[in-house]
């Protein structure tokens, strides 16, 4: 599409990159690279400055809609598991971490008040607020959904599901990042194309930048601390009960003894319901092998560097896995003892894009064996998968670029 074929307004990149989550903060960087020459605005549900973490200066979508004369050409949802993120979850994750616990406790047994509070925080009535309300920008040329996820959409309440489906039907283009989400939408008559997550492009687009970050600061110290290599490990705060931490520690001890690798614990998100340094400190106290390094930086390029220069990734983060895939590294997701290993967005993504026989997800008590299997998986196949996913995303993005 040439500039004369487009309306004069900017394109708005909209998504959940208004809070600290590793994957969500990466996504607009990828789309920005693939939309050269475009005038872009970055929008979430809240106005936030994520520049100190490698993110963007983000405007609140409702405030952008109130700007006189702003008529965007396209509104592009950048990706992420946004089809299943409800207003309560979105509002809590936008709170300062030190205030979120009090908010959760306050509304724990008051669902009606909880929803009213969330609407007040977000300034919108939507049940699925990371999907555009068309009335905000009625003159926008196109609304596009790029590699979005929603593996639990069929289990959401009927009102939320109806809202999501209605918004998707009104869009010019919908692509999803896993086959499970695609099947759910197909059952409701929505045709969505299937493309990998945009983070599959991280090594291809930002390899030099990430390599540079690895030579300084915390990434360099992690590499120097473990001259024989390390495993990049991450898990969210819901793994933080004592028994689960003991199991993870025992499994990582086994893996460290078997491989000779160290362990670097990093956070893939600092927003509420994400990762917690205190869990890592308690884990370190339980481990018997040489002390793991607790990686403190929350800059997304430092996080990319610590994954990219590891011997492999193990964790609960989907984007930890996707970045490891982009770098053709061994990778494994593990799930909480109360969750079946074949469920969730991590398993759905792996089932869609991993090669046959590649390790996908395991229970915590099987972590050491799973790491061994991931390390043993053929490197040539991992490299082929990395190439194929980057190429598949670039092809899939053409449909967005042509609108």
Q: DSSP 3-state assignment of 293?
A: strand
What the block records as the tokens of 79 is 């990706």
Predicted pLDDT at 2? 39
Q: Which residue has the tokens 């199991």?
A: 247
Residue 403 has a pLDDT of 57
Q: Which tokens is 42 given?
A: 């970055």
User: Under DSSP, is residue 352 helix (H, G, I), strand (E, B) or coil?
Assistant: helix
Give the whole-angstrom CA distance, residue 18 versus residue 1: 29
Q: Do domains 3-194 and 202-388 have the same CATH topology?
A: yes
- What is the pLDDT averaged over residues 62-91? 93
Whole-angstrom Cα distance, residue 397 to residue 403? 10
User: Where is 231: in which H helix or E strand?
Assistant: strand 230-234
Running DSSP on this structure, what letter comes out for residue 38?
A: -
Whole-prediction pTM: 0.95
> Domain spans of the chain?
3-194, 202-388
Residue 110 has pLDDT above 80, yes or no: yes
| DSSP one-letter code for 80 | B
Helices (H), 35-86: 61-65
3-state DSSP assignment of residue 392: helix
Which overall architecture, per CATH, does domain 3-194 show? 3-Layer(aba) Sandwich (3.40)
Q: Six-digit token pair at 110?
A: 């008051």
Residue bearing the bigger pLDDT, 4 or 276: 276
Task: Look at residues 351, 360, 270, 283 and name the one whose alpha carbon lies nearest to residue 321.
Answer: 360
Whether 77 and 45 have beta carbons less than 8 Å apart is answered as no
**Confidence grade of residue 1 (pLDDT, cut at 50, 70, 90):** very low
- Which tokens is 278 given? 């205190």
Whether the pLDDT of residue 232 is over 60: the answer is yes
- Mean per-residue pLDDT for 357-365? 96
Q: Which two tokens stand for residue 87?
A: 């207003």
Strand duo 57-60 + 48-49: pairing: antiparallel
Q: What is the topology classification, in CATH, of domain 202-388?
A: Rossmann fold (3.40.50)
Residue 25 has pLDDT above 50, yes or no: yes
The CA-atom distances, in angstroms, between 98 and each of 45, 182, 242 are 20, 37, 22
Q: Exposed, middle or buried: residue 227 (CB in 10 Å: 0-12, 13-18, 19+)? A: exposed
**What pLDDT does 6 receive?**
42
Residue 316: strand, helix, or coil: coil
Q: What pLDDT sits at residue 402? A: 62
Token pair in block for residue 269: 């998100």
**Alpha helices, DSSP H, located in 226-317:** 242-259, 277-286, 300-308
Whose CA is closest to 165, among 181, 141, 146? 181
Cβ count near 312 (within 10 Å): 24
What's the residue count for the chain? 403
pLDDT digits (tens, 9 = 90+) for 323-344: 999 999 999 999 987 788 788 9
Packing angle of the helix pair 202-213, 379-401 (nearest 10 deg): 110
> What is the residue-averaged pLDDT of the chain?
94
Cβ neighbours of residue 305 under 8 Å, at least 6 residues apart? 210, 211, 213, 214, 219
- pLDDT at residue 8 in the model: 62
Count CB neighbours of 297 within 10 A.
20
pLDDT bracket for residue 401 (50, 70, 90): low
Q: Which region among 126-130, 293-297, 306-310, 396-400 has the lowest average model confidence (pLDDT)?
A: 396-400
Half-sphere exposure of 134 (CA within 13 A, CB side): 15
- Which strands make up the sheet holding 361-363, listed edge to edge? 293-294, 262-265, 230-234, 312-315, 331-335, 361-363
Instruction: Give the chain's largest Cα–Cα span.
Output: 64
Decide if 248 contacts 364 (C-beta within 8 A): yes
Q: Is the pLDDT of residue 287 over 60?
A: yes
Least confident of 34-48, 100-114, 280-294, 377-391: 100-114
Q: What is the pLDDT of residues 201-230, one digit of tens each?
A: 999 999 999 999 999 999 999 999 999 999
In the three-class reduction of DSSP (H, G, I as helix; E, B as strand; rest coil), residue 39 is classed as coil
Residue 126's alpha-carbon distances to 86, 147, 288, in angstroms, are 8, 21, 49
């Amino acid at each position: 599409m040439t500039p004369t074929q487009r309306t004069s307004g900017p394109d708005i990149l909209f998504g959940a990159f208004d809070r600290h989550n590793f994957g969500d903060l990466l996504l607009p960087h990828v789309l920005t690279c693939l939309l050269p020459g475009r005038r872009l605005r970055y929008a979430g549900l809240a106005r936030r400055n994520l520049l100190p973490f490698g993110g963007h200066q983000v405007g609140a979508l409702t405030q952008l809609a109130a700007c006189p004369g702003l008529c965007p050409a396209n509104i592009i949802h950048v990706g992420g598991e946004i089809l299943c993120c409800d207003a309560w979850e979105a509002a809590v994750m936008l709170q300062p971490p030190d205030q979120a616990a009090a908010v959760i406790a306050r509304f724990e047994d008051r669902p009606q008040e909880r929803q009213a509070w969330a609407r007040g925080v977000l300034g919108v009535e939507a049940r699925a607020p990371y999907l555009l309300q068309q009335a905000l920008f009625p003159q926008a040329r196109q609304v596009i959904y790029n590699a979005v996820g929603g593996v639990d959409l069929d289990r959401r309440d009927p009102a939320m599901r109806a809202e999501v489906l209605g918004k998707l039907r009104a869009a010019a283009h919908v692509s999803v990042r896993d086959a499970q989400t695609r099947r759910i939408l197909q059952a409701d008559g929505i045709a969505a194309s299937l493309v990998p997550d945009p983070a599959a492009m991280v090594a291809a687009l930002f390899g030099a930048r990430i390599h540079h970050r690895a030579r300084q600061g915390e990434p360099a110290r992690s590499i120097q601390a473990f001259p024989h290599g390390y495993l990049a490990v991450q898990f969210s705060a819901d793994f933080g009960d004592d028994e689960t931490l003991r199991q993870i520690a025992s499994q990582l001890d086994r893996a460290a003894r078997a491989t000779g690798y160290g362990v670097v614990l990093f956070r893939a998100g600092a927003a509420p319901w994400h990762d917690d340094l205190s869990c890592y400190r308690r884990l370190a106290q339980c481990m018997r092998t040489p002390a793991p390094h607790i990686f403190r930086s929350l800059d997304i390029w430092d996080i990319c560097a610590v994954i990219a220069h590891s011997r492999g990734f193990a964790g609960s983060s989907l984007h930890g896995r996707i970045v490891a895939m982009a770098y053709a590294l061994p990778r494994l997701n593990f799930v909480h003892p109360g969750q079946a290993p074949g469920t969730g967005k991590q398993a759905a993504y792996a089932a869609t894009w991993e090669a046959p026989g590649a390790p996908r997800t395991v229970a915590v008590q099987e972590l050491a064996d799973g790491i061994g299997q991931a390390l043993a998986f053929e490197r040539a196949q991992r490299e082929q998968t990395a190439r194929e996913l980057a190429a598949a995303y670039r092809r899939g993005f053409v449909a967005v670029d042509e609108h």
